[in-house]
Structure 1
């Protein structure tokens, strides 16, 4: 046993030195766990932020001026007043996402109770801003018109009072969600890439043949690659979590970090094994890259990090329950967002351990077959 552990340790150190001499991989690790995490946290794809809007005011009344002044930063840019012939060219050129047209005699018709119509032109190619902005604009217009007619700000007392309580994200900040989910996705992606690239690099450089004449077994070779690349991703995850998410983005972490990194280690056992399996299927790095696209897209999109799993078809939920990313995402959200303990996340830990063991056994069988063909 001591001899096997020594072989696994020395082969793992060799993998770390090989990675240290690869500037491309080092740049990829540093970039993804710093710039990519920060960008994902600050992009705010589903939040209205400086949405360009223009207003065609053909009424030029106190009510139309009141409506125009209700659109202000940071949700909207300061409204630009344009003439009607400039609506279509402005939308075609992408200068505006929303264009509100206020018809002539609008205030007079409102006061007379004629229910005049406004026109809201929306550039629907900007999906997030168009969907949220159109609804927000309607609320603003209706609210300003109602207050203008009632001559005071306020609303009628309702028979039932609904008290909203925001749990786990009281400010509804997308930074909390975007940064942590990006980190969760990067743990999966980098672990697969690093282990797969390590095996393909040895095959391209001819060092696999050197390993075959050494007194090492395929299990020792695989375990060395698993622990070495998993250690790199684990350290990068810890630095990114503390340096980028907690310090730069000021995102609070609710749960136990020790429990979270235990789940990360179990997940890395599964994903590094998956990376070795994919490397035995691909014949070169370009093929491995194409295979990564086919594998990573469903793993990320259907794991529950982007959309809730409950909104997916039943057969998709069952199929993705066999993927490690599903349980890792569920476990990460429970610990980092809701402060869950072991009593809540232990099913995810068990699932990750079982899936990792199955992937390791499958990858080891494929790896032995590949080595036998080279021999």
Structure 2
């Protein structure tokens, strides 16, 4: 047992030195846990944020000025005041997503009770912002017109007063979800890629043959790759959460990081095994890359990190219970978002351990078969 542990340790240190000498992998790790996390938190295409807008105000009345003043950050940039001739060139150049045209006599027609129109030109190539923004602009403009006509701002008294309370994210800041969800996704992705690439690198450099003549077993070789690459991912994700998420983005973490990283380590026991299994099937790095795309997309999209599992067909929900990422996403969101303790997430921990044991056994059998073929 002591010799086995010593071999696993020394082989793992060798893997760390090999990774240190691979600049492309180091760049991938750095990008994944810095720029990718920051982008996921700040670039939110599903929300209306700093949308460019221009307004043609031919009426120049108190009502039109009131409408112009209603558009401000963070949903919209400060509207640019342009002329009618600048509408088409500005939209053709992509300078404006929305251009509102308020015609002459708009306020007069509104006060006289005659039909009044405002033209809204939308750049539909920016599909998400165009769909969301058009609705926002319509609500804002109609609200200003109604308040102007009534002479006051108010709402009719409702028979029921609905009190809304947003738990775990009081300001409904979507960057909180984007950053932490991306951390969970990147842990899964990097653990698969690094472990599989380590085995492919051994094969391409011809060092697998050297390992075969050494007094080490396939179990020791595989275990060394699991712990070394898992350690790298854990360290990178720990620094990312503390330096990028908490320090740079000022996003709070509700629960225990120790418990989260314990769950991440168990999850990587399964995902690193998946990476080794894929590397034994692929003959080179391009093939491994193609397999990674085929495996990672379902794992990330159907595990609940991108879209809620409740919105998926029931058969997909049941099938994905066999994936470690499903339980890791549920565990990670419970700890990081809701501050859950081990009394809440212990079923996910047990499921991850069981699934990890199955994947490790399958990967080890495939790895032994691949080594015997090389020998």
Query: Aligning the two structures, in what range does the TM-score lie when normalised by the shorter sequence?
Result: over 0.9
Question: Cα distance, 1:58 vs. partner?
Answer: 3.7
Aligned partners of 1:273 and 1:204: how far apart in 2? 20
Structure 1 residue 62 corresponds to structure 2 residue 57 = no
Q: Which shows bigger deviation, 90-99 or 191-200?
A: 90-99
Residue equivalent to 2:107? 107
TM-score under structure 2 normalisation? 0.95
Q: Which shows bigger deviation, 192-201 or 103-112?
A: 103-112
Secondary structure in structure 2 of the residue aligned to 1:183: helix
The answer for unaligned runs of 5 or more in structure 1 is none
Residue equivalent to 1:330? 330
Aligned partners of 1:130 and 1:62: how far apart in 2? 27
Aligned partners of 1:265 and 1:77: how far apart in 2? 44
Question: Cα distance, 1:62 vs. partner?
Answer: 2.0
Question: Cα distance, 1:85 vs. partner?
Answer: 4.6
Residue equivalent to 1:215? 215
Deviations 1:155-184 (A, max 9, x none): 222222111111101111122111111111
Residue equivalent to 2:44? 44
Question: Cα distance, 1:47 vs. partner?
Answer: 3.1
Kindly tell me the number of residue pairs found equivalent between the two proteins.
Answer: 375
Secondary structure in structure 2 of the residue aligned to 1:169: coil
Secondary structure in structure 2 of the residue aligned to 1:114: coil
Residue equivalent to 2:154? 154
Aligned partners of 1:115 and 1:169: how far apart in 2? 43
Question: Cα distance, 1:126 vs. partner?
Answer: 1.5
Residue equivalent to 2:286? 286
1:244-259 alignment to 2 at 5 Å? Answer: 244-259=244-259
Residue equivalent to 2:302? 302
Deviations 1:300-320 (A, max 9, x none): 222211211111122222222
Deviations 1:123-168 (A, max 9, x none): 2221332232112111111110011001122222222211111110
Deviations 1:96-129 (A, max 9, x none): 1112222343222222223433332222221332
Question: Cα distance, 1:259 vs. partner?
Answer: 1.2
Question: Cα distance, 1:350 vs. partner?
Answer: 1.6
Residue equivalent to 2:367? 367
Aligned partners of 2:35 and 2:96: how far apart in 1? 29
Aligned-pair Cα RMSD in Å = 1.6
Aligned partners of 1:322 and 1:291: how far apart in 2? 19
Residue equivalent to 1:265? 265
Residue equivalent to 1:194? 194
Aligned partners of 2:186 and 2:265: how far apart in 1? 14
Deviations 1:32-63 (A, max 9, x none): 21222222222233332221112233433221
Aligned partners of 2:310 and 2:120: how far apart in 1? 34
1:136-155 alignment to 2 at 5 Å? Answer: 136-155=136-155
1:173-192 alignment to 2 at 5 Å? Answer: 173-192=173-192
Secondary structure in structure 1 of the residue aligned to 2:322: coil
CA 1:115–1:348 in 2, change beyond 3 Å: closer, same or farther?
farther
Question: Cα distance, 1:30 vs. partner?
Answer: 2.0
Secondary structure in structure 1 of the residue aligned to 2:101: strand
Residue equivalent to 1:163? 163
Aligned partners of 2:296 and 2:89: how far apart in 1? 40
Structure 1 residue 6 corresponds to structure 2 residue 26 = no
Aligned partners of 1:61 and 1:164: how far apart in 2? 37
Structure 1 residue 125 corresponds to structure 2 residue 112 = no
Aligned partners of 2:374 and 2:156: how far apart in 1? 80
Question: Cα distance, 1:82 vs. partner?
Answer: 3.2
Residue equivalent to 1:274? 274
Aligned partners of 1:243 and 1:100: how far apart in 2? 42
Secondary structure in structure 1 of the residue aligned to 2:34: helix
Q: Which shows bigger deviation, 36-45 or 301-310?
A: 36-45
Q: Which shows bigger deviation, 115-124 or 365-374?
A: 115-124
Aligned partners of 2:307 and 2:89: how far apart in 1? 36
Q: Which shows bigger deviation, 24-33 or 254-263?
A: 24-33
Residue equivalent to 1:76? 76
